[in-house]
């Protein structure tokens, strides 16, 4: 079984466009330094993973072009998911220019930092068709509050290939009566049942409260079972979210833990989640 990491990052801080990554913030210390394509290869090799999809971490076309430059000399980077301003009046031209590089397979606006209805109100008309015409997929970086809007957009654009990043960042550390739990549960169930969206099993540990990490397996495995029941293995893909993952754990630790959960599934389900779904979705060889 060939494994593919469907979601990770590399960055160089002196590029200057990672506004969310503040080196002066002590909580960001584990990730507030450069992570290169070579660093990524070390992590992949240590866990026996063949290739990875590298995803944007800055809302600029400049970073997207930098990622494409890094991928050009790195066989272990299977694809790049970049950024473009979906509200730009010349969106079609911008997409066409970026998509001349075959490594670019998707676009990801940083919706988690935008208003819940942004995707339905701000992008230029025809943005979804423009993505499809350019042969690109859509990574939905959303939180529970965005799911109702995302559902409406996907039902209006049923042919747009979409993957939900980080299982939509459920509020795992919040009290049981937090309204985000119902938003997440209802939104994800409807997205799974009423659209063809895929979902990434990534970015989960960083959504947990410290006390939850003490009972990690129970919390995590129940969550993964729930998402598997909604989407099925053929629409799920494993990702590390490295190096953001370092805020809560290690690459090897997350890979081992998720592999323990995968071991309870059929061989076909393991193959789909570990690499086949992502390879099919992004149109790459695992």
Collapsed DSSP state (helix, strand, coil) of residue 10: coil
Query: What's residue 213's pLDDT?
Result: 66
What percentage of residues in the chain have a pLDDT greater than 90? 93
Contact residues for 177 (Cβ-Cβ < 8 A; gap 6+)? none
Residue 60 to residue 107: CA distance in whole angstroms: 11
C-alpha pair distances (Å), 6 with each of 32, 173, 174, 233: 22, 25, 27, 14
283 has pLDDT over 80: yes
pLDDT band at 119 (very low <50, low <70, confident <90, very high): very high
Query: What's residue 132's pLDDT?
Result: 97
Residue 56 to residue 61: CA distance in whole angstroms: 9
Q: Per-residue pLDDT tens for 134-165?
A: 999 999 999 999 999 999 999 999 999 999 99
pLDDT band at 271 (very low <50, low <70, confident <90, very high): very high
Q: Per-residue pLDDT tens for 16-68?
A: 999 999 989 999 999 999 999 999 999 999 999 999 999 999 999 999 999 99
A 10 A CB-CB count for 151 gives 18
Domain hosting 105: range is: 4-282
What are 199's strand-pairing partners? 164, 236
Query: Could you give the number of structural domains in the chain?
Result: 1
Q: Any idea what the CATH number is for the domain that residue 136 is in?
A: 3.20.20.140
Q: Per-residue pLDDT tens for 192-224?
A: 999 999 999 999 999 987 777 667 888 899 999
Alpha helix positions (H), the chain? 37-46, 61-72, 91-98, 118-121, 127-133, 147-156, 179-194, 216-231, 251-262, 267-271, 277-282
Buried residues in 116-128 as b, exposed as e (16+ CB within 10 A)? bebbeeebeeebb
286 has pLDDT over 70: no
State mean pLDDT over 271-275. Answer: 97
Angle (CA) 148-151-152 rounded to 5° is 90
Sheet of 104-107: strand order equals 4-8, 51-55, 77-82, 104-107, 137-140, 162-164, 198-201, 236-238
State mean pLDDT over 101-126. Answer: 97
Residue indicated by tokens 């969206």: 197
Prediction pTM value: 0.97
């Amino acid at each position: 079984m060939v494994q593919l990491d469907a979601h990770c990052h590399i960055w160089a801080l002196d590029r200057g466009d990672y506004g969310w990554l503040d080196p002066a913030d002590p909580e960001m210390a584990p990730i507030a330094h450069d992570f290169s394509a070579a660093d990524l290869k070390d992590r992949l090799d240590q866990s026996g993973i063949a290739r990875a999809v590298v995803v944007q971490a800055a809302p600029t076309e400049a970073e997207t072009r930098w990622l494409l430059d890094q991928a050009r000399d790195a066989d272990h980077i299977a694809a790049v998911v970049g950024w473009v301003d979906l509200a730009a009046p010349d969106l079609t031209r911008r997409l066409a220019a970026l998509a001349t590089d075959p490594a670019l397979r998707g676009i990801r606006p940083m919706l988690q930092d935008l208003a819940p209805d942004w995707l339905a109100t701000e992008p230029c008309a025809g943005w979804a068709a423009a993505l499809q015409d350019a042969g690109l997929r859509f990574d939905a970086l959303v939180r529970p509050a965005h799911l109702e809007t995302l559902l409406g957009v996907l039902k209006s654009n049923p042919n747009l290939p979409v993957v939900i990043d980080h299982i939509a960042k459920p509020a795992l550390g919040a009290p049981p009566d937090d309204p985000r739990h119902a938003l997440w549960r209802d939104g994800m169930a409807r997205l799974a049942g009423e659209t063809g969206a895929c979902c990434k099993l990534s970015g989960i540990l960083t959504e947990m409260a410290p006390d939850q990490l003490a009972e990690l397996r129970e919390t995590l495995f129940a969550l993964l079972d729930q998402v598997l029941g909604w989407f099925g293995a053929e629409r799920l893909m494993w990702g590390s979210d490295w190096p953001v993952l370092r805020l809560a754990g290690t690459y090897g630790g997350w890979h081992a833990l998720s592999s323990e959960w995968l071991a309870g599934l059929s061989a076909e389900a393991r193959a789909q989640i570990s690499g086949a779904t992502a390879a099919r979705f992004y149109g790459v060889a695992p």
